Amino acid sequence: MDKKEHGQSVFIDCGGRHCTLFWESPHTFEEIPSKDILTLQDRLSAGDSIVGEKCHFGDPMRGLSKAQYFEEEELIEWYQDCKKKEIELLFFSSTMTEKARRIFGLPKSDRNDLMAISRYIKKFTNYHLMKPRMDLTTPPVVEEGWEVKDELNTMLNVARLFDYENPDDKASQFLKEALPEIAQRVKSNTKDVFGLAEKKDGSMKVTGLKFPQLYTVWSTLMNFDGTPRLREPTGRPAGWKHVKQHYLGSSPHHGNGGVARSNLNWHGMKNYISRRQGNKVLNKKGNKVVKKIEDFTDHDWQTFAIHRKEYRDAVRDMFQVMRKMVVGI
């Protein structure tokens, strides 16, 4: 069967015993029993695509989660059959669906979820849709990341509770002492992102509310008691690629990102981008607040991507400088 130059796309969502389909062309909806999703490819032609949320179709039934509907063997067989029939199976991040609805002003419903996903990947063409994994067992490196993420959640919450002044928090003490050297080593934009500034007496200060972001990066390299955070398989601090993927959940398909991701992305990146865009607006009470994404203009989205990259580059730079200090370089 010859692959078509431009195949059609069908978007799928499951809600228990039934699944909702959204056919982009023609613009129609359909409901089918959930089990029939696994043979949907038989209704399509080579070059067509099926798009659904990863939480429903990229992970097998595990534990008490109600988001998954299919056993591992069923999914693997489905993936293989789609590949054999040249049907492209792609997954959208479930954590992004609400954002997509807000951008396009759509209230929550199964049908609106599917329309929002369809519109989102058309508007943001650089968005990465995930392909299915043919092995759904959890790799040891992922389980290792989950354990460290739990440790980071506890460490960051305790540090914040004591406003980073707990005498047992050696990591915070060491970080404060290291700030002058860090400021000398990082790039100028990194200093701006993390609010590093020099006082009149030559000592360092952290402007604004950015110490939690500095401490978050530091916590991926140092334990609460001031000892280096070492990976068991290597006996060394983790590298940036590992930290980014397994500790900070920087992929759109990250699942639960934890406190570290929240500190850096929700609090740090959001406020940095807002400051760089100058896009704060007045709310109903007359207070300045960050513009909601549903009110973004095309220009806002263009500059958003630029400033997001600036922020992410600064986090990487900060991590790399800190890591060299921890390993004694």
* SS3 assignment for 101-126: HHHCCCCCCHHHHHHHHHHHHHHCCC
Residue 270: its H or E element: helix 270-277
Residue 86: its H or E element: none
State residue 295's pLDDT score.
Answer: 86
Domains of the chain: 9-123 (3.30.420), 140-326 (no CATH)
Residue 103 near residue 294 (C-beta atoms within 8 A): yes
DSSP string covering 119-166: HHHHH-TT--PBPPPS--SPPHHHHHHHHHHHHHHHHHHHHHHTTT--
Q: How far apart are CA 188 and CA 176, in angstroms?
A: 19
* Of 23, 133, 11, 15, nearest in space to 69 by CA: 15
Q: What are phi and psi of 53, to 5 degrees?
A: -70, 140
Residue carrying structure tokens 């590298």: 239
Q: How far apart are CA 313 and CA 315, in angstroms?
A: 6
State residue 1's pLDDT score.
Answer: 35
State residue 188's pLDDT score.
Answer: 93
Token reading at 38: 């696994």
pLDDT tens for each residue of the chain, 329 residues long? 343 445 899 999 987 789 999 999 889 999 999 999 999 999 999 999 999 999 899 989 876 666 788 999 999 999 999 999 999 999 999 889 999 999 999 999 999 999 999 999 999 998 989 999 999 888 899 899 999 999 999 999 999 999 999 999 999 999 999 999 999 999 999 999 999 987 777 677 777 668 999 999 999 999 999 999 999 999 999 999 999 999 998 766 655 678 999 999 888 998 899 889 888 887 888 888 888 888 888 889 989 999 999 999 999 999 999 999 998 85
Token reading at 133: 């994994």
Helix axes 270-277, 298-326, angle to 10 degrees: 130
Residue 238's alpha-carbon distances to 144, 174, 193, 257, in angstroms, are: 11, 19, 23, 17
Ramachandran quadrant class, 125 (left: phi over 0; alpha: psi -120 to 50; beta: rest): alpha
Q: Name the residue type at position 82.
A: C
| Chain mean position to CA 224 | 25
Residue 294's alpha-carbon distances to 105, 120, 168, 255, 312, in angstroms, are: 7, 12, 44, 23, 23
Token reading at 82: 């789609």
Residue 30: its H or E element: strand 28-33
Predicted TM-score (pTM) of this structure? 0.81
